Structure 1
């Protein structure tokens, strides 16, 4: 039974790839890894780093929740802990929490969001990226405003 759980844990590591819409190798490192089959969750905690060919994620905690299909049926991928960073080749984004839901292809980054790329920086309370339509929406809450600083090249 222990070997089965270990195999499932490694299968989950390969299944986290939906975060970037492609099946490929994913490497996850953390201080602690807990596989909770009853809750259908894999939890990585402490200095978590998820390396995928299209994105690298750093966070204090990452939880992947999967459905009845097992570890190949990822329902949510959540990075949390107040210091979340997502870096791609073109941009760097930080916030307090990031949630990706493969079912609707939405990536939601919340809490003191800052996105920086070659053309500038945008600050907001929340960023929602629809990976299917490639539309990004920045919003602000609590009377704040979305702020952008853009550089002409």
Structure 2
């Protein structure tokens, strides 16, 4: 068994078919809205769905656009799970820039793709392409071809 350690690496995440323009559905136990600040905070078993993308966390703060009719950002915290297709990632927090279709996960990131796992401190996913970049003490286990996993 070989252990691979590096400062950064790139991989895929999901199938690259997430449409940042698709509606965002949110379910939670509670909702607090700050009209003046243009934010809303969902708490308690928060589940967010956008097309094939699923994000769950104990708390998610939504930042609306200036007119209040669009979502600019989703800030999830308290332990986050992000799922797209067969891929899943866990982290302490995730910031989803909806306008640019980019998610940054940070704090003990663990990416699982089938039987492969990669750990790091930070992962940035570009949803349109499905490209993920991991950085901050990246660790994975590489197995020679033919070796049982």
Measured against the shorter chain, the TM-score band is 0.7 to 0.9
Which structure carries more strand by proportion?
2
**Structure with the greater relative contact order (CA < 8 A, sep ≥ 6): 1 or 2?**
2
> What residue number does 1:75 align with?
72
Measured in 2, the distance between the counterparts of 1:98 and 1:20 equals 18
What are structure 1's unaligned runs of at least 5 residues?
Answer: 1-18
Q: Give runs of aligned pairs for residues 58-97 of structure 1, distance below 5 A.
A: 58-72=56-70, 74-81=71-78, 83-97=79-93
Per-residue CA distance 1:28-68 (angstroms, 9 max, x = gap) = 22111112111100110111111333111110101110121
Aligned positions, number: 128
Q: Give runs of aligned pairs for residues 8-23 of structure 1, distance below 5 A.
A: 20-23=19-22
> What residue number does 1:118 align with?
114
Classify the secondary structure of the residue corresponding to 1:148: strand
Classify the secondary structure of the residue corresponding to 1:146: strand
RMSD of aligned C-alpha atoms?
2.1
Q: Give runs of aligned pairs for residues 133-144 of structure 1, distance below 5 A.
A: 133-140=129-136
Measured in 1, the distance between the counterparts of 2:85 and 2:22 equals 18
What are structure 2's unaligned runs of at least 5 residues?
Answer: 1-17
Normalising by structure 1, we get a TM-score of 0.74
| 1:129 and 2:128 are equivalent in the alignment | no
Normalising by structure 2, we get a TM-score of 0.75
> What residue number does 1:55 align with?
53
Gap change, CA 1:29 and 1:103, over 3 Å in 2? closer
Gap change, CA 1:20 and 1:63, over 3 Å in 2? farther
Which structure carries more helix by proportion?
1
